């Protein structure tokens, strides 16, 4: 009887194998070479040869999350959870569950959640479940995912807290027999938020098509707001955008969480740093680095007081902490 045990590709190398879009260049450098890591489902002692990363997994049921000689994405999501910040993990989840032209999505939010709930005891489970709370299926681009995070995440994670937002909702118009997909959609107020990239929406035919689309939607009571990169990059423009959306949605943005400042900075790093690490949580966030929503003035004083306590007592448990 053979004692051979199958090994399965896992971790970041498995993300490459499954072709997860745009995680390189956002949360990983584009030219990063990932070492091959493998997992073996056994509770027996194991010989580990040099230069080969082999992990063992003893959790019952984990062995069903493989295909061929590779772990499937629901299990891979748990495996890499501890290696990323909560913002990077949410972004990765959105990309794993993104729209895939001409075929089935690589995975869905429901599959990620089912795997995380089943594999009790996995070291990445708790953090993965936290990230899954904010995931949606069918993101069609990396910038849609980041815009969704800016608007959907709660204040404590640096977002605006518009928790009704969904991704790529199908809209069927009664008149004209037309069907559209809203990049981000708020059903309670029939608000369609469109991300217009310079690559696909700057030419004359594209602008004409966008105007026609908006007129068809507005004729049936929908409201359309277009968002460009500059409105995310420039803080004043972002504040004006969020005020406009706040009025349309009917939900006031009022910042009470002191963690808003460092987590908003983390979202900005995800937008701007292109695969470089999110800045250290020990770096002080200045008030010029965040939009001045209602409540920010009071919350920033609380943030500074907590920061000063941290500086005076560096050996105490971390007072300010970006979600690990």
Has residue 150 been placed in a domain?
yes
Q: Are residues 155 and 121 in the same domain?
A: no
Q: Are residues 222 and 109 in the same domain?
A: no
Q: Are residues 228 and 121 in the same domain?
A: no
The reported pTM is 0.91
Q: Are residues 176 and 117 in the same domain?
A: no
Q: Are residues 114 and 177 in the same domain?
A: no
Q: Are residues 125 and 250 in the same domain?
A: no
Domain count, the chain: 2
Rounded distance between C-alpha atoms, residue 62 and residue 65, angstroms: 6
Q: Are residues 113 and 169 in the same domain?
A: no
Indicate the DSSP class of residue 316.
Answer: S
Q: Are residues 158 and 200 in the same domain?
A: yes
Has residue 128 been placed in a domain?
yes
Rounded distance between C-alpha atoms, residue 93 and residue 74, angstroms: 10
Domain containing 88 equals 8-137
pLDDT of the chain, 324 residues: tens digit per residue:
345 678 899 999 999 999 999 999 889 988 889 988 999 888 766 656 656 788 888 899 999 999 999 999 999 999 999 999 999 999 999 999 999 887 788 999 999 999 999 999 999 999 999 999 999 999 999 999 999 999 999 999 999 999 999 999 999 988 767 889 999 999 999 999 999 877 665 667 777 788 888 888 988 889 999 999 999 999 999 999 999 999 999 999 999 998 999 899 999 999 987 656 666 666 788 889 999 999 999 999 998 888 887 777 665 554 444 443
Has residue 300 been placed in a domain?
yes
Last residue of a domain, one of 104, 137, 170: 137
Rounded distance between C-alpha atoms, residue 67 and residue 44, angstroms: 23
pLDDT attached to residue 116? 97
pLDDT attached to residue 46? 63
Last residue of a domain, one of 137, 160, 184: 137
Has residue 77 been placed in a domain?
yes
DSSP characters over 141-159: SHHHHHHHHHHHS-GGGTS
Q: Are residues 186 and 216 in the same domain?
A: yes
Rounded distance between C-alpha atoms, residue 88 and residue 289, angstroms: 20
Among 31, 131, 41, 32, residue whose Cα is nearest residue 80: 131
Q: Are residues 163 and 285 in the same domain?
A: yes
Last residue of a domain, one of 67, 102, 137: 137
Say how many C-beta atoms besides its own lie within 10 A of residue 54's C-beta: 16
pLDDT attached to residue 227? 93
pLDDT attached to residue 2? 45
Has residue 106 been placed in a domain?
yes
Has residue 16 been placed in a domain?
yes
pLDDT attached to residue 48? 61
Q: Are residues 286 and 304 in the same domain?
A: yes
Q: Are residues 36 and 171 in the same domain?
A: no
DSSP helix/strand/coil, 245: helix
């Amino acid at each position: 009887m053979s004692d051979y045990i199958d090994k399965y590709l896992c971790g970041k190398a498995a993300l490459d194998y499954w072709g997860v879009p745009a995680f390189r260049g956002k949360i990983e450098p584009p030219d990063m070479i990932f070492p091959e890591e493998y997992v073996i489902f056994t509770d027996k002692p194991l010989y580990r040869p040099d230069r080969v990363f082999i992990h063992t997994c003893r959790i019952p049921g984990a062995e069903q999350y493989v295909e061929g000689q590779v772990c499937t994405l629901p299990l891979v999501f748990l495996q890499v959870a501890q290696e990323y910040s909560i913002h990077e993990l949410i972004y990765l989840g959105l990309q794993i569950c993104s729209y895939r032209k001409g075929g089935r999505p690589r995975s869905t939010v429901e599959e990620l959640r089912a795997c995380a709930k089943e594999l009790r005891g996995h070291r990445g489970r708790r953090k993965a479940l936290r990230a899954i709370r904010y995931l949606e299926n069918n993101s069609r681009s990396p910038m849609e995912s980041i815009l969704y995070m800016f608007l959907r995440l709660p204040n404590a994670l640096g977002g605006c807290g518009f928790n009704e937002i969904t991704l790529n909702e199908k809209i069927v118009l009664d008149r004209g027999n037309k069907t559209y997909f809203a990049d981000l959609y708020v059903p309670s107020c029939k608000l369609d938020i469109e991300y217009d990239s310079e690559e696909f929406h700057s030419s004359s035919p594209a602008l004409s098509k966008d105007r026609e689309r908006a007129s068809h939607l507005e004729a049936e009571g929908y409201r359309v707001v277009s968002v460009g990169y500059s409105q995310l990059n420039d803080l004043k423009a972002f504040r004006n955008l969020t005020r406009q959306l706040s009025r349309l949605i009917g939900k006031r943005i009022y910042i009470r969480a002191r963690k808003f400042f460092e987590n908003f900075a983390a979202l900005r790093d995800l937008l701007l740093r292109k695969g470089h690490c999110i800045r250290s949580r020990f770096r002080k966030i200045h008030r010029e680095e965040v939009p001045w929503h209602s409540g920010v003035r009071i919350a920033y004083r609380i943030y500074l007081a907590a920061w000063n306590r941290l500086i005076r007592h560096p050996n105490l448990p971390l007072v300010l902490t970006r979600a690990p």
